[in-house]
Structure 1
Amino acid sequence: FGEEMLETADKILDSLRGHIHNGTAFCYQEPGYWNFYEWNELLDGQPMEHESPAPPSTDAGLQLFGLLALQRMAALYGYLGRNAGALIQECRALAEGLEAFWDEENGAYASFLRDNQRLQYAELIQALALYTKACPTQRRAELRQGLCEGRWLAATLSHSIFKYEALLEEPDIYGEAVFGQIAERWGSMLFSGATAFWETDQGPEAFDGAGSLCHGWSGIPVYLYGAYLLGVKPEKPGRWRQEKRVDCGVRRVSGILKSPQGYMEFGTKRK
């Protein structure tokens, strides 16, 4: 499948490369493009449609999602036995370019650079900086603490996985806090009578009463519970391994994974 889709993936990355100048990523100004990162202030890329070119903007969202795409492409090249050296160099250039968004006074990365000014400080951007490991080591502990404390514009449901994965890099410190937030956030939907997870926290009230009540991108706990409570993660395409479970206040858990190797049972024993 990787070989089959490689040409398509290369075309997508070529489009991204056309919006990177001097190591930083500029928004798609052409009419017909929507610079959407998540349903949040400024990050939603409104207006969705524009007939004239959009104003110039250097976007940390495109910088970091672009870096993540290049990292994934380099991994795909590795799986297929191809030389990923050029992709790795591109990743380094984008990681270094992220420094343009760093605001020492605020201790965070800005979401945008517009008219020589840094705009907005969002959890999504800090989380992606940690998740991609573009953030220098000496900043990581403080950024994780800020994410946990809610210092910046909160990440929406769709991209909260990056926040939680960034925090779970230090599971002994943040494990209980992460799964406490998940229980409160998704549990509030269940206690509201939801039978599927909503597009946003606002449920049916979002988008002037047009909020989706069944949205795949909000199925994040399915992965996190399996990966951290059961400790089961993919080792490589088609193969899974069990790691140490994260101590998050849940004392007994069990699950069954259907994999190419067959059914695999994981969990703790009932005492």
Structure 2
Amino acid sequence: MFEEAKWIWAQDVSGKDSYAEFVSEFGADAGLPVRLYLSCDSNYSAWVNGKLAGFGQCADFPHRKLYDKIDLTDLCGKSNQLKIVVWHYGEDSQTYINSDAKLIFEIVQGEKVLLSSGEHILSRRETHYRNGYCKQITSQLGYSFLYDATEKNERPYLPSVPVRCDAKIEPRRLAQLKMRARPRVKITPTEQGFLVDMGKETAGFLDLAVESPRRQKIVIVYGEHLREGKVPRLIGDRDFSVEYVAAEGENEYVNTFRRLAGRYLEIFAEKGTRLRYAGIRPVDYPVRKQEKKFDDPVFQKIYDVSVYTLRQCMHEHYEDCPWREQAFYTMDSRNQMLCGYHAFRGHRYQRENLITIAQGVRPHGLLSLCFPGGRDHSIPFFSLVYIMQVSEYVRYTGDVSVIPSVRPAMDRILATFASWERNGLVPNPVGFWNFYEWSEHSSGNDYWSRENQPDCYDLILNCMYVYVRRIYAALFGLSVDTSASVQAIEKTFYCKEEGLYRLSTKEKHFSRLGNAFALLIGLGGEELAEKVAEGKGMIPVTLSMTAFVYDALLLFGDKYKNMILEDIKTRYSAMLAAGATTFWETEKGWEDFGGAGSLCHGWSAIPVYYLCRLLLHEAG
């Protein structure tokens, strides 16, 4: 592949947040399939004969580029026009690692290369999009956009220039994302424009049809909830808006670069503007659902909404949330993968996501925070979660062929932890984010202030290290002795008076999550299990981490089964009663994180796993 193609870029395009347009012509014979193979940095949309052919560069790494395969057959005639627009981000975020702007492609029919990238491809700056605008939505997600429909691009096309790229290039093994039909929406005029309600959380592309009385800039704000009848735009340093400069008369526009998400759009436009349509065109990863039926209608609703939540968080890779970040974390995706084994058929998506994570080992020996991610605040606990993810994948699928691609990362993580061990315990490493859950004394928000402090040891990190060493040994048929670590944990963290394990050597606080981890490594017994089940005197467990508490209690058979089911029903019914169409990041909803709480978070779909396991008796 790409034997005749070169990496190229446009002569007159440089800098952050820039758009380049590439055009050419090619001929094709009737009756034979025509394919476009393409890779770029950072994102693309391709048209053949004026019709959209493909979009969305799969998230990859500068050292390992992935290429898409797009079927052009139905779009082609004898002579054809190709246009490719590439959006180069040019700045690190938690969803992208900065690299040089570039494009490579081939169009192939049978064994014949019809067209390939090189200096002969004409290119120029794409000026409908404001280049260098650099308006940030969030630090995790990256840039917004401004599109000017009145712009007449009179810049000349110039021969493209070659770009050096030594990256390994491999095929995208995941399916292309699908853009679905326009959803039905409710449009309500307001004093400043229009409010659009799509009826439920939707992730996809902005679709706009508007009649404008004159040239004007229209601002589109998107979000998951309303505050005093408005969609919140500015939340802290975040700006949830995009912009469109309309021409006088009819305008139609679909942006196929920046995926948005939410339930509501607020359109700010001049008097006399007629909004024909505005909404988010759903864009999702194609899956085959496994239909599940539950006798209890409440559990059925919880299951169905959980599955819909999962789908909104599956695109180029797993996402924590489609609105605020679209970032790929191990802990979030562990819950998502686990649920996916029960909710969807096939396992290619999980496999390729595990391989993507394995590319993210940093020089310090742990995984980056996100994949691919150019801003690094590694979470040691999340690196250990990866060993669980691989083990669960092999257990559910029987696919051991993934091991050569992922084991080096697993070994590096465990070797790094082993190098930190002191007398059976691992101190909190300096300069890392020692996060466990979004609760008091477990969010690690003081991690920068710990640099000059004496060693601090955390219960959860040490229990997790024991837990995954055992998981790793079982996966590879090895023996492991964790008794010294278990004894050190008992000696260091157990508080006899309370009969509980404290969270940290720094302070004396107790949490359900921390004590659940003690149970998971064999400490505490039934007396501790009773206390964890009751939760009295302990920091409550958050939605994302309930799986560890439930698993700890299920070590005691069905004794706590009904309690677990009731806990799921109580927590999730409360969200449904509040109007949730997807499940929230935390039970505080949008009010958490200074008003930036996500109302669609993949890790909160965990009821899928427990409802299937406990009510449908599926293997766990």
Is TM > 0.5 for Structure 1 vs Structure 2?
A: yes
Q: 2:575 aligns with which of 183, 189, 203?
A: 189
Give the equivalent residue in structure 2 for 1:121.
510
Displacement after TM superposition at 1:37 (Å): 1.0
SS in 2 for 1:112: coil
Amino acid at match of 2:483: R
C-alpha distance in structure 1 between counterparts of 2:570 and 2:546, whole Å: 14
SS in 1 for 2:581: coil
Give the equivalent residue in structure 1 for 2:444.
45
Give the equivalent residue in structure 1 for 2:406.
5
C-alpha distance in structure 2 between counterparts of 1:67 and 1:106, whole Å: 24
Instruction: State the percentage of identical aligned residues.
Output: 34
Alpha-carbon distance change, 172 to 227 in structure 1, aligned in 2, over 3 angstroms: closer
Q: 1:103 aligns with which of 479, 495, 513?
A: 495
Displacement after TM superposition at 1:51 (Å): 9.3
Give the equivalent residue in structure 1 for 2:525.
140
Pairs within 5 Å for 1:24-43: 24-29=425-430, 31=431, 33-43=432-442
TM norm structure 2: 0.34
Q: 2:520 aligns with which of 103, 118, 131?
A: 131
C-alpha distance in structure 1 between counterparts of 2:449 and 2:438, whole Å: 18
Alpha-carbon distance change, 171 to 75 in structure 1, aligned in 2, over 3 angstroms: closer
SS in 2 for 1:213: coil
Conserved? CA contact 1:38–1:156, under 8 Å:
yes
Gaps of 5+ in 1: 79-83, 235-271
Displacement after TM superposition at 1:149 (Å): 1.4
SS in 2 for 1:24: coil
Q: 1:168 aligns with which of 537, 549, 554?
A: 554
Displacement after TM superposition at 1:179 (Å): 0.7
Deviations 1:146-189 (A, max 9, x none): 12212211111111111112222334432211111110001111
Displacement after TM superposition at 1:206 (Å): 0.6
SS in 2 for 1:173: coil
C-alpha distance in structure 2 between counterparts of 1:22 and 1:11, whole Å: 21
C-alpha distance in structure 1 between counterparts of 2:542 and 2:516, whole Å: 12
Displacement after TM superposition at 1:98 (Å): 1.3
Deviations 1:115-158 (A, max 9, x none): xxx5211111111111232x0xxx31111111221221111111
Deviations 1:165-220 (A, max 9, x none): 22223344322111111100011111111111111111111111111111111111
Which has the larger displacement, 38-47 or 50-59? Answer: 50-59
C-alpha distance in structure 1 between counterparts of 2:447 and 2:575, whole Å: 28
Which structure: greater helix fraction? 1
Which has the larger displacement, 151-160 or 139-148? Answer: 139-148
C-alpha distance in structure 2 between counterparts of 1:126 and 1:3, whole Å: 35
Conserved? CA contact 1:28–1:54, under 8 Å:
no
Alpha-carbon distance change, 157 to 55 in structure 1, aligned in 2, over 3 angstroms: farther
Displacement after TM superposition at 1:60 (Å): 0.6
SS in 1 for 2:505: strand
TM norm structure 1: 0.75
C-alpha distance in structure 2 between counterparts of 1:154 and 1:229, whole Å: 25
Alpha-carbon distance change, 127 to 51 in structure 1, aligned in 2, over 3 angstroms: closer
Give the equivalent residue in structure 2 for 1:20.
421
Give the equivalent residue in structure 1 for 2:294.
none
C-alpha distance in structure 1 between counterparts of 2:468 and 2:556, whole Å: 24
Displacement after TM superposition at 1:49 (Å): 4.4
Which of the pair has more CA radius of gyration?
2
SS in 1 for 2:583: coil
Alpha-carbon distance change, 187 to 142 in structure 1, aligned in 2, over 3 angstroms: same
Deviations 1:53-101 (A, max 9, x none): 55521111110111122122112212xxxxx12xx12x33322221121
C-alpha distance in structure 1 between counterparts of 2:617 and 2:466, whole Å: 27
Alpha-carbon distance change, 54 to 208 in structure 1, aligned in 2, over 3 angstroms: farther
Alpha-carbon distance change, 162 to 51 in structure 1, aligned in 2, over 3 angstroms: closer
Conserved? CA contact 1:196–1:213, under 8 Å:
yes
C-alpha distance in structure 1 between counterparts of 2:615 and 2:470, whole Å: 26
C-alpha distance in structure 2 between counterparts of 1:54 and 1:38, whole Å: 22
Paired residue total: 217
Gaps of 5+ in 2: 1-401
Amino acid at match of 2:433: W
Give the equivalent residue in structure 2 for 1:245.
none
Amino acid at match of 1:98: I
C-alpha distance in structure 2 between counterparts of 1:51 and 1:41, whole Å: 17
C-alpha distance in structure 2 between counterparts of 1:95 and 1:194, whole Å: 42
SS in 2 for 1:43: coil
Structure with the larger RCO, 1 or 2 (CA within 8 Å, 6+ apart): 2
C-alpha distance in structure 2 between counterparts of 1:7 and 1:164, whole Å: 31
Amino acid at match of 2:434: N
SS in 1 for 2:619: strand
1:112 and 2:501 matched: no
Which structure: greater strand fraction? 2
1:64 and 2:463 matched: yes
Runs of 4+ in 1 over 4 A off after TM superposition: 48-55
Q: 2:605 aligns with which of 219, 242, 266?
A: 219
Q: 1:74 aligns with which of 473, 488, 500?
A: 473
SS in 2 for 1:21: coil
Conserved? CA contact 1:2–1:76, under 8 Å:
no
Q: 2:585 aligns with which of 164, 182, 199?
A: 199
Displacement after TM superposition at 1:231 (Å): 1.4
